[in-house]
Structure 1
C-alpha cells in the first residue's frame, strides 16, 4: 500500500528525488572492504540550509565544521562516512574533517564552506583519511557523471545512487531508512522532498547516534527551515530512545535548493511544515524499530497532562526504562514498572489518577491494579509492535515516544562493536 504523509504522494529516489539533487554511495574500505561507507549529496545550485545537532558536550570534529559552514544558512553538498566517528582524536580529527570538505569542493567545483561533513562509527580512532579521500574522489566522479547524463536526458534509474548513499551511512542498522514524496501545490507546480537517516544504537532523547539528511526543491529561506527543523526534531528524533546513550555525532540537516520554482505560502507552507515533521517522525520510528538487537517496537502515548513538556518527560522515561524494555522482551505485563518510570521522569502529576493500557487492555486504573486477563495481555505483548498508553486525567496536553525492547542480542552487538 502506498504510504502518504499529510497528503504527500510517496516516490522513489530518496534524497535525490527533489529536482536538482544528486546522491551516490561508494565503497572506500574505511572499516570493511565490501561495505558502502562514503555518501555524497549534491545540489546543482546553492541551497538554503539548516541543522540541529547533538546536545552532548563531547562533539565530533565534523560536527564543529558543519556548524561553522552553516553559519550563513547556505550549503551545496554533504559528505558522510560510516566506519569511523572522527571524534576525540585531537588536531588530526579537525584536519580530517577539513580535508573531506576540501576534497568534495575540489571535485564538484564549489566553495569548501558550502560543504557539510558528517561521520559515524567508532569514537577515538583516527580516520583512515587517505581511504576516505579516495572514496570522495570516486563518489564525486560518479556524481558528476550522473549530472552529465541528466543534462543529456540519459540519467540512469534515479534512486540507485541515493539508495547506495543511504546504505553508506549505516553502521549497525539492519534496514535502510529513506523516503521521498511530492506535493502538487495549490498555486501550481510540484514540491518534492527526500530524506535518509541512520540510527540503531546509542539512541536517546536529545538525539543519539543518528544522522538525518533532508532535501527539498522548494524555495524556503534558511530561517524558516531552521524553525521547522528544530520543532520537528523535538517531536521526532528527540522522542526516540533505544539504550539511554547519546552520541557525539548526531546531526540532522535540511537543504532547500528552490529548483522547483515554487515558494510555498498559505496552505502549501502549512503542508510543507507538516511534511518536515511527518518525515522526521517516520524516520524516528524506523530507528526505534531497528534498535540494536530489538525484537519489538514500543510506542508510548501519554495524554491528559498539564504541560506538553511533562508529557514528553513521562513518555521518554517509560521508553528509556531498562526494566520496562526487559518486561517487553519477556512479554510480562508488569504495569508497575511503567508507572514507576513515569514517577521518576521529573514530571508533575498525581499518580492516583493514572490509567494504564496495554493496547486497548486496561491494566491499571486510578493508580491501582485492576483485574485483567493475563492471557490477553500476553497476546498483546507477543506482537512485534506494542502500544502503551497512559491517561493522567490531569490536563489537555499529550506526547508520544518510541523505543524498543532490551534483548540479549543488544549486549552481543555492543560487547564487540569496536572490533
Structure 2
C-alpha cells in the first residue's frame, strides 16, 4: 500500500511539473499565429499532438508539393515567408488548439526543438464587460474574478509568462485544486463556488496579467484577462521632513533598473546627488521636503508601475480636540475643503504605531465614510482603537503637482 501511495504521489508531482513547464499561446478565433523557425536550418518539422499521437503537419522542405502531409484545410490558411523562415496560420479556429512541436536540423544535427500549446478561444465582446486592473498592497490578499464561470465547466487559470512578452502564458491551475507553480504553491487558490483566483501574501512577481479560461472538456469556451497591479499609496509629510518612496515592484528577472518619473517633469531615474535622489535599493529619497515636492511619482519597471501621491504641507498649528465615548458616531469636518480642487484625510493612531495612513490606503478603516462633496469624515461605532490624530489636507491639483493649500488637524480623545 505504501508503494502505491508513493507512486501516486510521484505521478501527481510529475504531472504538475509537466503542466507548470508548459508554455501556452493564447489566441482569439480568426486571429493568426506565426511559427518563426531558424533561418539556417536545412529542414524543419512542425507537428501537433492529438491525444497520445503526434501528427506531422508539414515538412518545410516539402511544403507545397501534392504529396505534402499538410491537411488541405490548413494549407489554404497557410502563408510562408522564405526570407524570414516563418509560417503563419490565418483565421484560427478551435480545431487548431493543441500541443505543437518544432524540430529543425542542420547537417543532420538537431538545432531547434520547441514545445508549446496553442489555445484558441472565441473572440470576446468587450463592449458589455468592464475590466479594470485589480490593485493590492505587497503582502496583501486579493481575489481575481473569473467572469462567465459556471459550475458545470472546467476552469483554467493562466499567468503571463514574461512581463516583456504578452504572447506566452504558464498554467497556474489545471485541476482547479492545486497550483502547478512551485514558487506560488499555497499562496494561489481557486475559490470553489466563484472560480476566482485568490492570491495571498502578494510579492513583486505577482504583479502581471492573468487569464481565466472557461473550458468545456478540451475546448475553450471563453477567456477573461485581468491585471494585478500595485495599489497606489498616498503619503503626507511636512516641510523640512524626510520621505522615502520604496520601489518594491522589482525582481531578479529585471535586466534594467527601474526608473522614477513624475508627470510633466523630467525622468528622475538618473538622479544621484540632488534632492530627491535614488538610492541603491531604487527608493526615491527626499532629505528635506519642500512644498514643490508635492505631486505624483511613478516607479516604472517593464510592464508594471508603482504609483505614489506625495502631499507636502507647511507646519500645522495647534490641533482641535474632539472627545468621544465607545460606540458613538463621530463626524470630523474639513472646514477649508472648498478652497482647493480636492481634499484627502490622513490618520495617525496608536494601532498604526504612530505611522500616518491615508483613508484611501488604510484597509482597516471599514467603519469610516468619507464624503468628498462636503468635506466630512464619519466614523461609526467608534472604539478606543480609533483614538489618534486626523489630518485633512486641502490641495490644488496644478498640472499633477497636488500643491497643499491648507492642513487641519483634529485629535480624537477617548473618554
Structure 1 or 2: more helix by fraction: 1
Structure 1 or 2: more strand by fraction: 2
TM-score w.r.t. the length of structure 2 is 0.26
Higher relative contact order (CA 8 A, sep 6+): 1
TM-score w.r.t. the length of structure 1 is 0.26
Larger Rg computed on CA atoms: 2
